[in-house]
Amino acid sequence: MNILLTFDYELFFGDNPGTVEKCMLEPTEELLEIAARNNIRYTFFVDVGYIIAAKKYSELDDERARVEFQIRKMVEQGHDVQLHIHPHWQKATWSGSWKMNTTGAYKLSDFTQEESDEIVRAYKKEIDAITGKTSFVFRAGGWCIQPFSRLVNVFKELNITHDSTVVSGDFLETSEYSVDFREAPLKSHYRFEDDVCLEQENGFFTEVQITPLRYSPLFYWRLYILGRLFPSEHKMLGDGVFLSQGGRKKRTLLTYTTTHVSTDGYFASKLEAGLQKAINFEWDEMVSIGHPKSNTRYSLKKLEEFISKYRSIHNFTTFSEAYREGSKKD
């Protein structure tokens, strides 16, 4: 079984986006130390929009340089760096702190076709220049990849052949988010063409989905209660605020819901359950999603326990190792 631990490297996008130091640099260093101790590699999906936006403000030059240095450090240590796009950076402004203008700009489909294509081209060019590598895997910001038909041509132009956004069964519709994976195949990976939820045997693209898992309301009650009882263990290391997801919080407390296997916070307690699901379904891989900003003392401990327990049994790998041309048949 291949295990792909992936992390979206980014700030928050609510009213308080947090600091680069606490949301990106410091928590990522802790993740890198865990990987080094256990001789494994991650895949980082880097929100390079921050770097493009920060270049407009000379007072951010030192901070931006530290971020670029850390991204190169990831590569030097054998980690994989791939493309992650939050296009709201096109309208973000800096005045002592970031103002995130997400309304009408949170997903690529909020922009015209021409604008969307140029964003993808510019962001891919930027991340490839920083790493010295050629990215070929995409993850949409906020899971907002639909409608994929608007991305087909520019992805083919840039040879972006793989995606890891889909979480089969997940659904979220708010003023910013538009996510509907309820019809996606329940497979670890599959080919598709112009619809990420429609498998096509000879499709140009490969979806390597984030492993889905069903969560009970009790899980979320525990999550919220533990956070209040034991803040030193369960408080996020990042110092920002999430973008509102509408009524999703209430829904999770009342009904069973499907979402991703994750290393974030209390979700890290379900890593073994996600692995067992992948094994039971006889899938080729388990893919988890995490965010350095959402690490907690608890999640970092659970992550290292999980790695230590399974590193001699399963193959902790990256997208480049598992899916780059010549390494594996999709």
**In this structure, is residue 329 part of a structural domain?**
no
The residue to which tokens 């410091």 are assigned: 26
Instruction: Provide the 8-state DSSP code for 308.
Output: H
In angstroms, rounded to a whole number, what is the distance separating the alpha carbons of residues 130 and 135?
A: 11
pLDDT tens string, the chain, 330 residues long: the values are 999 999 999 999 988 999 999 999 999 999 999 999 999 999 999 999 999 999 999 999 999 999 999 999 999 999 999 999 999 999 999 999 999 989 999 999 999 999 999 999 999 999 999 999 999 999 999 999 999 999 999 999 999 999 999 999 999 999 899 999 999 999 999 999 999 999 999 999 999 999 999 999 999 999 999 999 999 999 999 999 988 887 788 889 999 999 999 999 999 999 999 999 999 999 999 999 999 999 999 999 999 999 999 999 999 999 999 998 544 445
How many CB atoms are closer than 10 A to CB 327? 11
**In this structure, is residue 13 part of a structural domain?**
yes
**In this structure, is residue 142 part of a structural domain?**
yes
CATH number, domain with residue 19: 3.20.20.370
Rg of the chain on CA atoms, in Å: 18
Residue pair 256/216 in contact (Cβ under 8 Å)? The answer is yes
In angstroms, rounded to a whole number, what is the distance separating the alpha carbons of residues 283 and 1?
A: 8
In angstroms, rounded to a whole number, what is the distance separating the alpha carbons of residues 315 and 40?
A: 9
**In this structure, is residue 304 part of a structural domain?**
yes
Over 96-127, what HEC string results?
CCEECCCCCCCCHHHCCHHHHHHHHHHHHHHH
- Tokens for 141? 């910001």
**In this structure, is residue 328 part of a structural domain?**
no
Residue pair 2/317 in contact (Cβ under 8 Å)? The answer is yes
**In this structure, is residue 158 part of a structural domain?**
yes
The angle formed by the CA atoms of residues 43, 158 and 181, to the nearest 5 degrees, is: 60
**In this structure, is residue 17 part of a structural domain?**
yes
If one counts the domains in the chain, the total is: 1
**In this structure, is residue 330 part of a structural domain?**
no
Would strands 43-47 and 80-85 be described as parallel, antiparallel, or unpaired?
parallel
Cis ω for the linkage preceding 87 (within 30 of 0): no
Closest CA to 319 of 54, 79, 146: 79
By residue range, what is the domain housing residue 134? Answer: 2-323
How many CB atoms are closer than 10 A to CB 61? 11
